[in-house]
């Protein structure tokens, strides 16, 4: 009886997820294996194209660099936020939440104004005489990574503040009073305790960058194509749906593999777990 | 005694915060500029680029479409998400464990993949109208937020209160609306707000589902940026930021902003 009540209440949402998420996504992945010339033909085609391999490799590079940089920036900042007095902490958290709730398009557009040929940074550099000619900053790997770091650092800060807050001050002071240098306290006390949070943050940022579309489209354009923009181009410009589905399947597999592997590692590394 | 922070560390965080907030200030400045090109600091203050938004028919249309889709998909997600969250908490023992994982799935599947798959199966396979496909896509996008936020507030609810009401003769449905729902009101408001803002800002699902005649605001912004480089987009961005501020004020009122840090 209770089982029936539970199921009937959960069934509308369950059906929506199965019908409109699982079935369509499974169908997309299925089409990649049902090519006329063998089940793996579309993957062979993907990996034998030098251009596509370059795009995949670029996407991995951009995502790894974005994750690494936002881990460092987010960790430093989250540590200061977690040790800030109450009122300041609220302000700092609001200042991180605000960009996070502002859309991807708006935040990427901001960098278009800053890094453009007639942009603010070039204007500043030319006016101060630091460079003679405006630099080409837009549509480079650097511009994509800068905007992605900008996009994901708030997420990293917010993920880590909670974790770092739960490390008691006493523990850090105990370490110091027992003669550990600040660097030793950091490496042997703070870092191990923060590792599970760092992994969660890294997974969120890596999967987010790996599957992003708007930011690489606006700041990288055709010359800096990544998996997301390539998938869109294949699906909506050249109408090669098998190729687009193959890219989709690769994105799904990488996302799920990273989430599964990393959460397992996080669980094993958690020093608080017995 | 609180731990003393290294001044270098504090300096670094100040720089990170300048990096986070600076670009948004630049957008606001560019929106207020009286020039026909994007510049900062603004040269001459003017609101004419804000007026310009509403003079462009495509912006008027997409703002309305975006609001409609956000409201509809959030409404549907609440309608199916609240009972699901209730069932997951109330009948935890009776329901299989994978069910709660099922509602996290939309987060695991990249939005681009969901958008493309919906295009193939729903928009083309079933030749559903563009608007309907967009509502379906956005409902899936926001459902995980709804289920998670409302589950979190139901977890703090003592179900024996509900049982007491029922054993005293109150009908189950009435009990739900008069006892359970008012107790998780702040969770419902937060879920609504988060879902709404997520839908309004979405690009990755909508990019595949918008079509001739029907588009959403972020997609229209992308299209406009590729053709024009005037302050119109900066002013649209300021409007969206104003919406974000309003959203944060509501969340602050109902739950406190530290909620968002979780």
- B175 and B120 part of one domain: yes
Cβ-defined contact of A21 to B114 (cutoff 8 Å): yes
What number is the ipTM of this complex?
Answer: 0.92
- Residue B1 pLDDT more than 50? no
Number of domains in chain B: 2
Domain that holds residue B78: 49-261
Instruction: Look at residue A272 in the predicted model and tell me its pLDDT.
Output: 62
CA distance B181 to A175: 48
Cβ-defined contact of B121 to A112 (cutoff 8 Å): no
- B14 and B38 part of one domain: yes
- Residues of A whose CB is below 8 A from B108: 255-256, 259
pLDDT in tens, B50-106: 888 888 889 999 999 999 999 999 999 999 999 999 999 988 888 888 888 888 788
Give residue B110's region: left, alpha or beta (phi > 0; psi -120 to 50). Answer: beta
- B181 and B89 part of one domain: yes
Fold (CATH) for A40-269? MetI-like fold (1.10.3720)
Q: What is the mean pLDDT of chain B?
A: 89
Report the CATH number at residue B139.
1.10.3720.10
Q: A28 and chain B: CB distance < 8 Å anywhere?
A: yes
Q: Provide the chain A residues 92-151 that lie in CB contact (below 8 A) with chain B.
A: 92-107, 109-114, 116, 118-120, 123, 150
Instruction: Look at residue A22 in the predicted model and tell me its pLDDT.
Output: 94
Handedness of CA B191, B197, B200, B205 (dihedral sign): negative
Which segments within B110-220 are labelled E, that is strand? Answer: none
Q: A88 and chain B: CB distance < 8 Å anywhere?
A: no
Helix (H, G, I), strand (E, B) or coil at A266: helix
Torsion angle defined by CA atoms of residues A223, A151, B107 and B243, in that order, rounded to the nearest 10 degrees:
-120
Contact A213, A229 (CB under 8 A): yes
Look up the pTM and report it: 0.92
Q: Closest CB to A20: pick one of B83, B118, B261.
A: B118
Helix (H, G, I), strand (E, B) or coil at B33: strand
Q: A6 and chain B: CB distance < 8 Å anywhere?
A: yes
- B198 and B78 part of one domain: yes
- B30 and B102 part of one domain: no
DSSP A153-166: HHHHHHHHHHHHHT
Cβ-defined contact of B201 to A118 (cutoff 8 Å): no
- B140 and B203 part of one domain: yes
Q: Provide the chain B residues 12-31 that lie in CB contact (below 8 A) with chain A.
A: 12-13, 16-17, 19-21, 23-24, 26-27, 30
- B23: nearest CA partner in chain A: A110
Cβ-defined contact of A24 to B38 (cutoff 8 Å): no
- B36 and B118 part of one domain: no
- Which distant-in-sequence residues (6+ apart) come within 8 Å of B65 by Cβ? B131, B134, B214, B215, B216, B217
Query: Where exactly are the structural domains of chain A?
Result: 1-34, 40-269
Q: Which of B7, B12, B38, B113 to mutate to test the interface with A (most CBs of A within 10 A)?
A: B113
CA distance B136 to A40: 31
- B60 and B42 part of one domain: no
pLDDT band for position B124 (cuts 50, 70, 90): confident
Mean pLDDT for the stretch of residues B199-209: 96
CA distance B124 to B117: 10
- B16 and B113 part of one domain: no
Contact A125, A131 (CB under 8 A): yes
User: How far is residue A222 from each of residues A10, A134, A213, B165, measured CA to CA in Å?
Assistant: 44, 21, 12, 63
- Residues of A whose CB is below 8 A from B119: 235
CA distance B157 to A164: 28
Q: Which residues of chain A have pLDDT under 70?
A: 1, 271-274
- B14 and B86 part of one domain: no
- B63 and B99 part of one domain: yes
Residue A239 has φ and ψ, to the nearest 5°, of 55, 30
């Amino acid at each position: 009886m209770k089982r029936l009540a539970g199921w009937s209440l959960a069934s509308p949402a369950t059906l929506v997820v199965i019908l409109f998420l699982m079935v369509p996504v499974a169908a997309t992945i299925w089409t990649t294996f049902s090519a006329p010339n063998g089940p793996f033909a579309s993957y062979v085609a993907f990996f034998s194209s030098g251009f596509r391999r370059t795009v995949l490799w670029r996407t991995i590079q951009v995502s790894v660099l974005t994750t690494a940089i936002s881990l460092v920036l987010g960790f430093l900042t989250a540590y200061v936020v977690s040790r800030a007095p109450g009122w300041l902490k609220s302000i700092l958290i609001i200042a991180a939440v605000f960009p996070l709730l502002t859309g991807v398009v708006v935040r990427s557009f901001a960098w278009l104004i800053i890094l453009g040929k007639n942009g603010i940074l070039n204007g500043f550099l030319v006016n101060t005489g630091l460079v003679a000619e405006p630099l080409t900053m837009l549509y480079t790997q650097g511009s994509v990574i800068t905007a992605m770091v900008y996009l994901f650092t708030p997420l990293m800060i917010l993920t880590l503040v909670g974790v770092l807050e739960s490390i008691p001050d006493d523990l850090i002071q105990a370490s110091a009073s027992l003669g550990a240098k600040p660097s030793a306290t950091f490496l042997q006390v703070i870092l191990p305790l923060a590792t599970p949070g760092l992994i969660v943050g890294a997974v969120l940022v890596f999967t987010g960058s790996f599957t992003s579309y708007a930011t690489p489209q606006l700041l990288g354009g055709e010359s800096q194509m990544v998996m997301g923009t390539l998938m869109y181009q294949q699906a909506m410009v050249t109408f090669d749906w098998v190729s687009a589905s193959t890219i989709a399947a690769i994105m799904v597999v990488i996302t799920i593999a990273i989430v599964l592997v990393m959460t397992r590692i996080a669980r094993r590394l958690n020093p608080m777990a017995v | 005694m609180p731990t003393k922070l290294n001044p270098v560390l504090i300096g670094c965080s100040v720089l990170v915060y300048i990096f986070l907030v600076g670009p948004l200030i630049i957008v606001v400045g560019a929106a207020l500029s009286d020039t026909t090109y994007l510049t900062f600091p603004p040269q001459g203050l003017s609101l004419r680029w804000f007026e310009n938004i509403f003079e462009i028919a495509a912006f008027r249309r997409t703002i309305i479409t975006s609001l409609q889709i956000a409201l509809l998909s959030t409404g549907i997600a609440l309608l199916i998400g609240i009972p699901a969250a209730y069932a997951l908490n109330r009948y935890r023992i009776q329901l299989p464990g994978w069910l709660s994982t099922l509602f996290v799935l939309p987060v695991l599947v990249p939005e681009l993949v969901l958008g493309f798959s919906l295009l193939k199966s729903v928009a083309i396979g079933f030749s559903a109208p563009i608007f309907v496909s967009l509502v379906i896509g956005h409902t899936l996008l926001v459902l995980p937020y709804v289920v998670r936020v409302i589950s979190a507030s139901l977890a703090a609810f003592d179900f024996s209160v509900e049982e007491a009401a029922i054993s005293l003769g109150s009908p189950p449905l009435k009990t739900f609306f008069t006892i359970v729902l008012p107790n998780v009101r702040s969770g419902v408001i937060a879920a609504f707000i988060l879902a709404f803002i997520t839908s309004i800002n979405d690009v990755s699902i909508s990019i595949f589902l918008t079509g001739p005649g029907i588009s959403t605001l972020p997609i229209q912004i992308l299209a406009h940026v590729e053709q024009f480089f005037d302050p119109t987009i900066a002013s649209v961005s300021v409007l969206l930021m104003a919406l974000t501020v309003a959203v944060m004020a509501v969340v602050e009122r109902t739950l406190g902003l530290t909620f968002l840090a979780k």
